[in-house]
Amino acid sequence: MRQSMKRIQLFLLATLIVLAFALVGCSNGASSSKKGVTTITFWNNATGTGKDALDAVIKQFNKTHSKIQVKSTYVASNESSDDKLLTAVTGGNPPDISLFDRFKVASWANQGSLTDLSEYAKKDGITKDKYYPFAWDESSYNGKLYAIPISTDARLLYYNKDEFKKAGLDPNKPPTTIDELEADADKLTIKKGSRFQQLGFAPWLGQGWLYTWGWAFGGDFYNKDTDKVTLDNPQVVKALQWEQDWAKTHNVEDITGFQDSAGSDAQDPFLTGQISMQVNVTGTVEQIKKFKPDLNYGVAPIPTPTGKDFTTWSGGFSLIIPKGAKHPKQAWEFLKYLGSPEGQKLYCGTSKGDLSVIDSVNQDLFKDDPIMMQFVDLLKTSHNRPSISQGQLLWNELDSAVDKAIHGKGDPKSLLEKANKKVNDALAKDKAN
């Protein structure tokens, strides 16, 4: 009897030891104060030049802040999901800072998993007018600030100047209206049977999301006052109608075949000359420099029906402090630094391809780069995807509406009305909770 008691004790002891180890393992990084120095953990998915840029900023920050040391850790994530951060926040043991796609800010803030930064910002005099309006709006939700924007991009029409010349078009006169775009595209297209040897243009390829065309047609997707999405906006419907007509007249199945054939990086159809015009994001400039530096191309504002009021939209990254972070105060110092003109200059100057969220920094960094300046010029009036709790659902619904419209599965108006209802219903549900 006594022996078995002893054994139970031994068993309990062993269990305790295992548990103790497990608990210690969970709280790593939290207790590393050496002479009042706080180490804060920073999760990010940066690689390549993006990582170089972050490393440069962290190095500079650590040098100038003796009491705070930032430790960077690579953690995989993407634009629409961030499973590891999700698990860490749920488990109550998140990093102090995370690199975060601004697209996700509203939905995560709605879930109460981001730290409200409004008070910090107020205290340190950080206000909307320091940044591009879209960058601030996308970092906020319900009037509160949840992220500090650190980089951005924009969309423009890329066109191949050599192919313009070959087709008898003026390489210095890219299309400005929708009609010109269509006429040029037809001249640039070389088709053999059902295969395109060279595709002039297709609205939905590259970054030709419905956001791109809806805004280009003068529509809008969200009403701030009613806090409802407006996918049934007549101009948005018109944009989708135009895409559907394009699909009909240019045989969508053939274009889809072309689209599926499209590679990425060096095999990108615009880089290989298989497509003459395409709406693309800022990063394509760096991609061309890296894989096809001799490509003779130009960029131009995305055509609009009138040939005036050019616009674009922007996304990009930000820094957030997850709910439950151990050192929010110290983390804020790093957010503030990377969001300041000094940090921005170092970051965007090192990463290249990224545009800054501060106009003066861009003017300074890119003044000698005519292509990048075309992006910078449009940033002041650039749009952002609505900062709503159902941003991902809205994205998927728009994507699916375009897919259905171009394949002739319904008329644009009813497709968009249906999607509109679905998203607004989901928004209403979020508000009720």
Partner 1 sequence: MARTEKAISKTSVNPRSVPKKKTKIKKGYAGWLFASPWIIGLLLFYALPVVSSLYFSFTTYSILQPGDFIGFKNYSDLIHDHLFWKSIGNTVYFAVIFVPLSIIFGVALAMMLNMRVKGMSIYRTVFFLPTLVPQVALAVLWMWLLNPGFGLVNGMLDKIGISGPAWLGSETWSKPSLIFMSLWGIGQAVVIYLAGLGDISNEYYEAAEVDGANWFQRTFYITLPLLTPVIFYNLVMGVIGAFQQFTLPYTLTQGSGKPNNSLTFYVSYLYDNGFKYFKMGYASAMAWILFIIIMILTLLIFWSSKRWVHYQGK
Q: Which long-range contacts (CB under 8 A, 24 or more apart) does 286-293 make?
A: 286/49, 286/352, 286/353, 291/265, 291/266, 292/266
> How would DSSP label each residue in 370-394?
HHHHHHHHHHTT-B-----TTHHHH
Residue 309, interface with partner 1 (CB under 8 A)? Answer: no
Say which residues have a Cβ less than 8 Å from residue 332's Cβ, sequence separation at least 6.
117, 120, 321
One-letter-per-residue 3-state SS of 66-79:
CCEEEEEEECCCCC
Instruction: Write down the number of H helices and E strands in the chain.
Output: 18, 14
CB of 340 to partner 1, least distance (A): 30
Site for partner 1 in 112-141 (CB under 8 A): 112-113
Q: Return the H-helix or E-strand segment holding 240.
A: helix 234-249
How large is the greatest C-alpha to C-alpha distance in the chain, in angstroms?
A: 100
Residue 273 φ/ψ region, left for φ over 0, alpha for ψ in the -120 to 50 degree band, beta for the rest: left
Which of 170, 253, 309, 369 binds partner 1 (CB under 8 A)? It is: 253
Structure tokens at 75: 């953690």
Chain centre to alpha carbon of residue 188? 31
Q: Which stretch binds partner 1 (CB under 8 A): 79-87, 160-168, 171-179, 365-373?
A: 79-87
Position 390 contacts partner 1 (CB under 8 A): yes
Segment contacting partner 1 by CB under 8 A, of 31-39, 75-83, 229-237, 302-310: 75-83
Nearest-approach distance from CB 224 to partner 1, in angstroms: 23
Beta bridge partners of 101: 317
When asked if residue 241 is in the footprint of partner 1 (CB under 8 A), the reply is: no
Q: From residue 271, how far is each of 177, 202, 277 by CA, in Å? A: 24, 16, 11
Residue 185 Cβ, how far from partner 1 at the closest point, in Å? 19
Is 248 a binder of partner 1 (CB under 8 A)?
Answer: no
Distance of closest approach, residue 80 Cβ to partner 1, in angstroms:
5
Q: Write the interaction track for partner 1 spanning residues 27-46; mark x where CB under 8 A is met and - where it is not.
A: --------------------
Q: Does 259 bind partner 1 (CB under 8 A)?
A: yes
In whole angstroms, the minimum distance from the beta carbon of 4 to partner 1 comes to: 7
**Shortest CB 133 distance to partner 1, Å:** 27
The rounded distance, in Å, linking the Cα atoms of 26 and 21 is 9
Taking CB under 8 A as the binding criterion, the range among 44-52, 188-196, 226-234, 347-355 that sits at the site for partner 1 is 188-196
57 is a contact residue toward partner 1 (CB under 8 A):
no
256 scored as a contact of partner 1 (CB under 8 A): yes
Task: Provide the sign of the torsion angle of the four alpha carbons 423, 427, 432, 433, taken in this order.
Answer: positive
257 binds partner 1 (CB under 8 A): yes
Interface with partner 1 (CB under 8 A), residue from 26, 47, 83, 341: 83
Contact 269, 158 (CB under 8 A): no
Listed residue (242, 151, 212) closest to 383, CA to CA: 212
Sheet hosting strand 277-281, strand order edge to edge = 277-281, 155-160, 297-300
- Rounded to the nearest angstrom, the gap between the alpha carbon of residue 270 and the centroid of all alpha carbons in its chain is 21
Q: Which stretch binds partner 1 (CB under 8 A): 253-261, 292-300, 326-334, 372-380?
A: 253-261
- Binding to partner 1, residues 87-116 (CB under 8 A): 89-90, 107-108, 111-113
Please identify, using beta-carbon distances, which residue of 286 and 430 lies nearer to partner 1: 430
Among 139, 384, 404, 424, binds partner 1 (CB under 8 A): 404
User: Which segment (84-92, 128-136, 302-310, 354-362) binds partner 1 by CB under 8 A?
Assistant: 84-92
Backbone Cα Rg of the chain: 25
- Residue from 93, 235, 340, 392 that binds partner 1 (CB under 8 A)? 392
Query: What DSSP state is assigned to residue 111?
Result: T
Contact flag: residue 81 with partner 1 (CB under 8 A): yes
**Does residue 56 bind partner 1 (CB under 8 A)?**
no
Size of the site for partner 1 (CB under 8 A): 37
Instruction: Name the helix (H) or strand (E) containing 320.
Output: strand 317-320
Classify strands 140-141 and 97-101 as parallel, antiparallel or unpaired: unpaired
By CB under 8 A, name the one of 23, 25, 168, 260 that touches partner 1. Answer: 260
Please give the structure tokens belonging to residue 115: 């730290």
Give 344 or 390: the residue with its C-beta nearer to partner 1: 390
Of residues 41 and 107, the one with the C-beta less far from partner 1: 107
If phi > 0 it is left, if psi is from -120 to 50 it is alpha, else beta; for residue 307 that is: left
217 sits near partner 1 (criterion: CB under 8 A): no
Alpha carbon 28 to chain centroid, angstroms? 31
Residues in contact with partner 1 by CB under 8 A are: 4, 7, 11, 80-81, 83, 86, 89-90, 107-108, 111-113, 193-196, 253-254, 256-261, 390, 392-393, 396, 399-400, 403-404, 407, 409, 433
